[in-house]
């Protein structure tokens, strides 16, 4: 172990410093294997005080720290990919639910609490913490806030930023900022919390957060719907917002090819509908009344079927069926890995422009790589499409993936023309860092650099993520 790691071990205990090459692997590669990194070691503190001491030591010695939560991030922000001088600061052992307040509908949790555990703690108190992602069993609240995660309930509840009322952060000089305020109203100056949310570990280490809780819905109706095209899905979305008899919490679009991939590779899945359809929508509506919701949703879907914006429908009749519908959606990312190389885009456009975006982007990538298989899916209700493109059947994977930048450029050009964003919810990390100058307002980018320089003048926190190192 290096002298630095020895000093870190004195803070966290020797068994919480990992240097064995095999033991480090799970921290140094992400699940799609797009990024593999190097580090001098992994350090696992268990308290805010230990994080503060580690950061102070790093600042004093110029040691670079890369914060990591559940290592489910999709843009490589949590993986150091330089020559291996970095130390990964794993926050997983900061895993306490510190308090649940059902009067104020808030919960204070530490950064390493997994999203699933935060949801469960809310449920145990008769409340809902609505952030929901397919990675929720592994991703952590610190990672969710640092990436301002979105997911499948943004439509009704907002993204991670909107679900956070306060933060505790260790600053790059080791000071602890206690901003764990549980106040619904607090107009006392700059909103610093929002600087750290979405900063991807470049401005401070989030150690705990105050999260907003909501009443747990008394009823949920979950429908799996066949729709003829994205324009019909959009019409359905607009109708469902006011007319489905409850709060529209989820509205996810899926293409048939995605469904084919799931049915082929995910065990225990089956098509809930009798005939294939070019597109599908997973829709969920929730209500505070225990009875009547299914009837409302059935009546709403009856009208949609009559209008032809829905061509077939299945309404979940049990919790098991609901879980089966959700599995079809949640497996969509994973199953693409079994179909060879996949070039990804996490983009958003104004909601009204999603059908145009899909038509143009599909045409563009099919013209570029004949035989490629676009699998665009995701959060239509937020204008956020995961525009993934699988390689042609039988094509050389490496040859296809070599066209990643070229394809990104073509898709991002369409996004720009439609006034959209090249990163809707996954962040910038290392994957999209060099694209940022091409899409950000230069003044905004300059302000971002100024903030980074002011808070982290020594560049010890996750350098090379979000902003290039000058």
Ligand X SMILES: Cc1cc2nc3c(=O)[nH]c(=O)nc-3n(C[C@H](O)[C@H](O)[C@H](O)COP(=O)(O)OP(=O)(O)OC[C@H]3O[C@@H](n4cnc5c(N)ncnc54)[C@H](O)[C@@H]3O)c2cc1C
Q: Which residues bind ligand X (CB under 6 A)?
A: 31, 66-74, 77-78, 91, 111, 133-135, 139-140, 142-144, 146-147, 149-151, 200-201, 205-206, 333, 425-426, 429, 462, 465
In terms of C-beta density within 10 A (0-12 exposed, 13-18 middle, 19 or more buried), how is residue 56 classed?
Answer: middle
Contact 163, 211 (CB under 8 A): yes
Rank residues 49 and 299 by Cβ distance to ligand X and give the closer one: 49
Contact 42, 18 (CB under 8 A): yes
Q: What are the strands, taking DSSP E only, across 323-372?
A: 342-343, 346-348
- Distant-in-sequence, close-in-space partners of 17: CB < 8 Å, separation ≥ 6: 1, 5, 8, 9, 41, 42, 43, 44
Q: How far is the CB of 31 from ligand X (least distance, A)?
A: 5
Structure tokens that stand for 43 in this block = 């350090």
Q: How far is the CB of 142 from ligand X (least distance, A)?
A: 2
Rank residues 311 and 337 by Cβ distance to ligand X and give the closer one: 337
Q: How far is the CB of 133 from ligand X (least distance, A)?
A: 4
Rank residues 76 and 245 by Cβ distance to ligand X and give the closer one: 76
Q: How far is the CB of 325 from ligand X (least distance, A)?
A: 16
Rank residues 4 and 109 by Cβ distance to ligand X and give the closer one: 109
CB atoms within 10 A of CB 60: 14
97-101, strands of its sheet edge to edge: 97-101, 106-110, 205-212, 164-170, 176-179
Query: Phi and psi of 313, rounded to 5°?
Result: -150, 145
Structure tokens that stand for 92 in this block = 């997983």
Rank residues 122 and 134 by Cβ distance to ligand X and give the closer one: 134
Rank residues 77 and 272 by Cβ distance to ligand X and give the closer one: 77
Distance (Å, whole) CA 81 – CA 62: 18
List the one residue out of 458, 455, 466, 469 whose CA is nearest residue 148: 466
Which residue has the closest beta carbon to ligand X?
A: 143
Q: How far is the CB of 187 from ligand X (least distance, A)?
A: 26
Contact 411, 361 (CB under 8 A): yes
Q: How far is the CB of 309 from ligand X (least distance, A)?
A: 25
Q: How far is the CB of 220 from ligand X (least distance, A)?
A: 19
Rank residues 161 and 243 by Cβ distance to ligand X and give the closer one: 161
Q: How far is the CB of 436 from ligand X (least distance, A)?
A: 14
Contact 198, 300 (CB under 8 A): no
Rank residues 284 and 294 by Cβ distance to ligand X and give the closer one: 284
Q: How far is the CB of 15 from ligand X (least distance, A)?
A: 21
Distances from the Cα of 428 to the Cα of 73, 77, 92, 334, angstroms: 10, 8, 22, 21
Rank residues 70 and 245 by Cβ distance to ligand X and give the closer one: 70
């Amino acid at each position: 172990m290096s002298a630095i790691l020895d000093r870190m071990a004195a803070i966290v205990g020797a068994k919480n410093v990992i240097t064995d090459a095999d033991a480090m692997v799970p921290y140094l590669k992400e699940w799609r294997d797009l990024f593999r990194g190097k580090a001098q070691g992994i350090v696992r503190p268990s308290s805010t005080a230990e994080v503060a001491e580690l950061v102070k030591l790093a600042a004093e010695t110029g040691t670079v720290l890369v914060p990591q939560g559940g290592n489910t991030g999709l843009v490589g922000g949590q993986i150091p990919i330089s020559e291996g001088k970095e130390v990964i600061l794993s926050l997983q052992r900061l895993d306490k639910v510190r308090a649940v307040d059902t009067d104020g509908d808030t919960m204070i949790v530490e950064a390493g609490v997994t999203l699933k555990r935060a949801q469960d703690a809310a449920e145990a108190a008769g409340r809902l913490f609505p952030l929901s992602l397919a990675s929720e069993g592994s991703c952590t609240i610190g990672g969710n806030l640092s990436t301002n995660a979105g997911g499948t309930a943004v439509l009704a509840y907002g993204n991670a930023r909107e679900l956070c009322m306060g933060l505790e952060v260790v600053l790059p000089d080791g000071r602890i900022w206690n901003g764990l305020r549980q106040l619904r109203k607090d107009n006392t100056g700059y909103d610093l919390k929002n600087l750290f949310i979405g900063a991807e570990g470049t401005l401070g280490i989030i150690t705990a957060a105050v999260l907003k809780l909501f009443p747990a819905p008394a009823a949920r109706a979950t429908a799996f719907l066949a729709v003829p095209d994205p324009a019909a899905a959009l019409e359905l979305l607009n109708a469902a917002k006011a007319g489905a008899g409850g709060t529209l919490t989820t509205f996810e679009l899926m293409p048939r090819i995605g469904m084919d991939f799931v049915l082929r590779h995910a065990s225990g899945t089956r098509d809930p509908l009798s005939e294939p359809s070019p597109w599908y929508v997973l829709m969920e509506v929730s209500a505070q009344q225990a009875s009547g919701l299914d009837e409302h949703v059935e009546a709403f879907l009856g009208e949609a079927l009559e209008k032809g914006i829905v061509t077939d429908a299945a309404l979940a009749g049990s919790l098991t069926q609901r879980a089966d519908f959700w599995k079809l959606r949640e497996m969509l990312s994973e199953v693409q890995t079994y179909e060879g190389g996949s070039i990804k885009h996490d983009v958003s456009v104004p909601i009204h422009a999603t059908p145009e975006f899909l038509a143009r982007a599909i045409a563009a990538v099919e013209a570029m790589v004949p035989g490629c298989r676009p699998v665009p899916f995701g959060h239509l209700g937020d204008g956020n499409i995961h525009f993934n493109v699988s390689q042609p059947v039988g094509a050389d994977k490496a040859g296809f993936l070599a066209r990643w930048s070229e394809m990104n450029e073509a898709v991002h050009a369409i996004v720009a023309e439609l006034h959209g964003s090249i990163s809707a919810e996954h962040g910038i990390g290392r994957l999209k860092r060099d694209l940022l100058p091409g899409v950000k307002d230069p003044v905004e980018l300059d302000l971002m650099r100024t903030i980074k320089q002011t808070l982290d003048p020594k560049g010890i926190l996750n350098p090379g993520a979000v902003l290039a190192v000058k």
